[in-house]
Amino acid sequence: MKEVKNNTLYIGNVSTKELAAQYGTPLYIYDQALIEQKMDDFKAHFVSSDFETNVVYASKAFLCTAMAKLVKKHGLYMDVVSGGELYVAAQAGFDMRHIVFHGNNKSVQELEMAVRYGAGTIVIDNEAEARELAALSFEQKINVLLRINPGVEAHTHQFIVTAHVDSKFGILKSDTETIRSIIDTIESNEALSFQGFHAHIGSQIFDKNAFRAEIETMGSFIKEMINKTGRSFPALDLGGGFAAVYTKEDAPIPIDEVCALLIDQCSLINEKYDLHLKRLMIEPGRSIVAEAGSTLYTVGFTKITPHKKYVFVDGGMSDNIRPALYQAAYDADLTNRMNDKKTETVCIAGKCCESGDVLIEKTDLPCAVTGDQLIVYTTGAYGYSMASRYNMLCVPAVVFVKNGRSSLVVRRQSFEDLIERDEGDIL
């Protein structure tokens, strides 16, 4: 929770001034209670008497051992897409039966690792991968899903049916022969159990019709596969994509509503197509962590150019690549001057050697001076997880705050860390 006391922003009842003094800036701050609330909301509302349901946190949005522990504590499953994410989950003591392993190009080593760790579910992407997986030997059963490209694509406010047939993810729903062959390959290994299909249609989705189209498309596709193979497919994984609030223009479908919509639509297709679906999964990432995270910076210099006033901060595209990569919009405040009038329109830029290193192209602020603290909101998803060491800027620390207390969950990268893996001499 955020509040203003003595002109200063508090998150989780901790003063941002104190956080900056204690941990330095730039700093990723997560409101732990808000992450927990979002997880509990999904868990409470993605339930149905018709289906077994699983909420699978997409860890690519934000992962460190503390986050994996939080996911475990709240009883969610977790989606990983690499040996690295799998490793972090394992190190945090995450229950491997609750892992859903994704990825369009998993290496054989990664597949072997997933098997060795005892991952509960593997989502196959293509035929060659099915063959590699079926060739391994197993000590315990693994559930397998196949990622389907349903030809429904959502781009924030728009969605398009019959779009993007050339996606690198999954198998096109019309390629039923390949799909049938993948199922046979998987089933040729007794330890593998082919459970059904997966689809993910995009990220930051606001439009209910996009989810309706996804589910209807998957319903008729599953029916076709039942007819073609004479077998049943009890599980359906609908992926993630639920939106978060970045600026006041964003109005995501509330979690209870989107969960009810998904469940209702799945009940509908189950009846309409006589599918016998028994298990539904969703994979929210952004919607669980985005709003809980903010990045706190210190203002350095300011600069006036013919058409702009720049406010420079001590981080930038290295801790948040999203503005440069996706033209993502954000809101900001000066946390030490929360009640001051916003008298200027400025451009907030970072310290990287790149013209595109702009965090917010245009925003209103009080007249910023060196040493002010500036916060950018809603950086909790795909911020830390996509951070780089460009210009050898150190990856910021991550702190969780809750009930007036803070906990350093990832320490700041140090200069020593920057050369930690440098080895050997020149030739």
Give the nearest distance from C-beta 28 to ligand LLP in angstroms.
15
> Site for ligand LLP (CB under 6 A): which residue of 41, 79, 85, 129?
79
Give the nearest distance from C-beta 219 to ligand LLP in angstroms.
19
| Joined tokens for residue 62 | 């934000």
Please say whether the beta carbons of 279 and 52 come within 8 A: yes
| Range list of H helices, 150-298 | 176-187, 208-229, 255-273, 286-289
| Interaction of residue 238 with ligand LLP, rule CB under 6 A | no
Please say whether the beta carbons of 350 and 387 come within 8 A: no
353 assigned to active site: yes
Among the residue ranges 40-48, 245-253, 284-292, 309-317, the one whose residues contact ligand LLP (CB under 6 A): 284-292
Among the residue ranges 13-21, 62-70, 226-234, 277-285, the one whose residues contact ligand LLP (CB under 6 A): 277-285
| Interaction of residue 98 with ligand LLP, rule CB under 6 A | no
DSSP state string for 144-159: EEEEEE-SEEEETTEE
Q: Which residue in 64, 259, 347, 353 is the catalytic one?
A: 353
Look at the block and give the residue holding tokens 């150019």: 305
Task: Give the HSE-up count for residue 127: Cα atoms under 13 Å, Cβ half-sphere.
Answer: 11
| Interaction of residue 286 with ligand LLP, rule CB under 6 A | yes
Among the residue ranges 223-231, 233-241, 250-258, 415-423, the one whose residues contact ligand LLP (CB under 6 A): 233-241
Binders of ligand LLP in range 343-402 (CB under 6 A)? 381-382
Question: How wide is the angle at C-alpha 343 spanned by C-alphas 27 and 22, nearest 5°?
Answer: 20
Buried b (16+ CB within 10 A) or exposed e, 243-267: bbebeeebebbebeebbbebbebbb
For 240, the enclosing helix (H) or strand (E) is none
| Interaction of residue 82 with ligand LLP, rule CB under 6 A | no
> Site for ligand LLP (CB under 6 A): which residue of 27, 29, 34, 61?
61
100 to 129: interface string for ligand LLP, x by CB under 6 A: --x---------------------------
In angstroms, how far is CA 406 from the centroid of its own chain?
A: 23
DSSP state string for 300-355: EEEEEETTEEEEEES--TTT--HHHHH-----EEETT-TTS---EEEEEE-SSSST
> Site for ligand LLP (CB under 6 A): which residue of 34, 58, 68, 144?
58
Among the residue ranges 33-41, 175-183, 280-288, 356-364, the one whose residues contact ligand LLP (CB under 6 A): 280-288
DSSP character for 106?
Answer: -
* Residues 263, 267, 273, 274, Cα dihedral to 10°: 130
| Interaction of residue 284 with ligand LLP, rule CB under 6 A | yes
Nearer to ligand LLP, 203 or 318 (CB): 203
| Interaction of residue 196 with ligand LLP, rule CB under 6 A | no
Give the nearest distance from C-beta 310 to ligand LLP in angstroms.
24
Among the residue ranges 111-119, 177-185, 285-293, 336-344, the one whose residues contact ligand LLP (CB under 6 A): 285-293
Would you tell me how many other CB atoms lie within 10 Å of the CB of residue 217? Answer: 20
197 to 226: interface string for ligand LLP, x by CB under 6 A: ---x--x-----------------------
Longest CA–CA span in the chain (Å) reads 70
> Site for ligand LLP (CB under 6 A): which residue of 219, 239, 252, 380?
239
Radius of gyration of the CA atoms of the chain, in A: 23
| Interaction of residue 283 with ligand LLP, rule CB under 6 A | yes
| Interaction of residue 241 with ligand LLP, rule CB under 6 A | yes
The contact set with ligand LLP (CB under 6 A) reads: 58, 61, 79, 102, 200, 203, 239-242, 283-287, 322, 326, 381-382
Question: Catalytic positions, please?
Answer: 353
